[in-house]
Amino acid sequence: QVQLVESGGGLVQAGGSLRLSCAASGRTFSNYAMGWFRQAPGKEREFVAAIAWSVPSTYLADSVKGRFTISRDNAKNMVYLQMNSLKPEDTAVYYCAADMATARSMGIMSHSGIHYWGQGTQVTVSS
């Protein structure tokens, strides 16, 4: 059974940085993409970033390009989201996700099509 466990959320001032971590377990993730989505109160869950597990491929939402970086450590089964230059509009619950997909396809598919989700971690950016 796939399990995704996020950590690293918190409260930060605008312009600050946070790093989210996602511990993945339960299967081998070759041919999978791992990603991050976020959901703000009253809004739809939206794609943030994705990375392919076995090839050097990433895909980021336009709203975070240049500020966020996604990476992975295959040996530790970990995925990270480094968030810099945070803005109040980045405030949301951030979810780790996994699916048998490419990084790009994870970015364009509906979030309802994603098979595996973590429980989420809150990120709050104060102005």
For β-strands 121-126 and 10-13, DSSP reports them as parallel
Q: Do residues 59 and 49 touch, judged by C-beta distance below 8 A?
A: yes
Tokens 């991050």, located at residue: 36
pLDDT tens digit string along 67-115?
Answer: 999 999 999 999 999 999 999 999 999 999 999 999 999 999 889 899 9
What is the model's pLDDT at position 33? 97
Give the model's confidence band at 49: pLDDT under 50 very low, under 70 low, under 90 confident, else very high. Answer: very high
Average model confidence (pLDDT) across the chain: 96
- In this prediction, residues 12-26 reach a mean pLDDT of 97
- In this prediction, residues 6-28 reach a mean pLDDT of 97
Q: Does residue 36 sit in helix, strand or coil?
A: strand
What is the model's pLDDT at position 110? 85
Q: Do residues 122 and 93 touch, judged by C-beta distance below 8 A?
A: yes
